[in-house]
């Protein structure tokens, strides 16, 4: 079965630095990857989608990469701010199935 | 456009009881998925409904069931509640949940129902 791995430990970053979160998958190669942000007690919110034929996607201070050789996606937040503190979830998607399975998430804390 | 609405927001039940949670998707969305979230297990996929039919199912016991109505609204039922069922239950809707069109499979989540089983 598919396994999705994200940094299990919380990531603590100084404000202004770049935060980099990792999402690794095994076995089946996804056709695309979605990244979501979740704040405590709330539902996840969609951030970015990257397809397998795209190396990189950007949105404002966010950047996502997708390396099908390494079976990995990286999520970057540049010029990080305390308001970026949240849990970030990756979710690989497959062309053969409509269900979306989420990774366990990485908790990011940006300290002033 | 209104977002995904889940009711109730909070529920307290005792072991052995049953519970029904409700989800109203974004207007026009036809796919509804349910997830259970606990601190230890993260976001676990329960099932997905599309056009009133269960299209995908996660690895949960038969005590967990759901249905979808013709207006795409969905309900989830848990029978014979156990202490371990205490969790945040999240509903998400998408346009079609079409795997071939990733942009139509973006999940829009509700605020969730916090269930506590005593």
Give the pLDDT confidence of A36-45 residue by residue, as tens digits: 999 998 999 9
Give the pLDDT confidence of B25-81 residue by residue, as tens digits: 999 999 999 999 998 788 999 999 999 999 999 999 999 999 999 999 999 999 999
Distance CA B62, CA A36 (A): 29
Q: Indicate if the pLDDT at residue A17 is higher than 90.
A: yes
Q: Given an 8 Å threshold on Cβ–Cβ distance, is B106 in contact with A46?
A: yes
Averaged pLDDT for residues A31-56 = 94
Among residues of chain B, what percentage have pLDDT more than 90?
85
pLDDT the model gives residue B18: 98
pLDDT the model gives residue B92: 96
Q: State the best of B105, B111, B112, B115 to mutate against chain A, taking most chain A CBs within 10 Å.
A: B105
Q: Given an 8 Å threshold on Cβ–Cβ distance, is A46 in contact with B31?
A: no
Task: Collect all residues of chain B within an 8 Å Cβ-Cβ radius of residue A41.
Answer: 88, 112, 114
Higher pLDDT, B81 or A2: B81
pLDDT the model gives residue B75: 98
Put residue A111 in one of left, alpha, beta given phi > 0 → left and psi -120 to 50 → alpha: beta
Distance CA A74, CA A16 (A): 19
pLDDT the model gives residue B97: 67
Distance CA A85, CA A45 (A): 14
Averaged pLDDT for residues B10-36 = 96
Range with the poorest average pLDDT among A35-49, A66-80, B60-74, B86-100: B86-100
Assign 3-class secondary structure to chain A. Answer: CCCEEECCCCEEEECCCCEEEEEEECCCCCCEEEEEEECCCCCCEEEEEEECCCCEEEECCEEEEEECCCCEEEEEECCCCHHHCEEEEEEEEECCECCCCCCCCEEEEEEC
Averaged pLDDT for residues B79-91 = 97
Q: Indicate if the pLDDT at residue A107 is higher than 90.
A: yes
């Amino acid at each position: 079965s598919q396994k999705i791995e994200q940094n299990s430990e919380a990531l603590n970053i100084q404000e202004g630095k770049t935060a980099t979160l990792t999402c690794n998958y095994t076995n089946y190669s996804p056709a695309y990857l979605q990244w979501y942000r979740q704040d405590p007690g709330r539902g996840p919110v969609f951030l970015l989608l990257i397809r397998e034929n795209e190396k990189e996607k950007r949105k404002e201070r966010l950047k996502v990469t997708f390396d099908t050789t390494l079976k990995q996606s990286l999520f970057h937040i540049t010029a990080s701010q305390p308001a970026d503190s949240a849990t970030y979830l990756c979710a690989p998607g497959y062309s053969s199935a409509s269900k979306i399975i989420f990774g366990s998430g990485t908790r990011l804390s940006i300290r002033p | 456009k209104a977002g995904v609405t889940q009711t109730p927001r909070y529920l307290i039940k005792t072991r052995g009881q049953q519970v029904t949670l409700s989800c109203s998707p974004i207007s026009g969305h036809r796919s509804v998925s349910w997830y259970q979230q606990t601190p230890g297990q993260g976001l676990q996929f329960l099932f997905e409904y599309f056009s009133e039919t269960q299209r995908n199912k996660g690895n949960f016991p038969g005590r967990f069931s759901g249905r979808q109505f013709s207006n795409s609204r969905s309900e989830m039922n848990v029978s014979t509640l156990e202490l371990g069922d205490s969790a945040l239950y999240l509903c998400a809707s998408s346009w079609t949940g079409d795997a071939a069109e990733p942009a139509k499979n973006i999940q829009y989540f509700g605020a969730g129902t916090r269930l506590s089983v005593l």
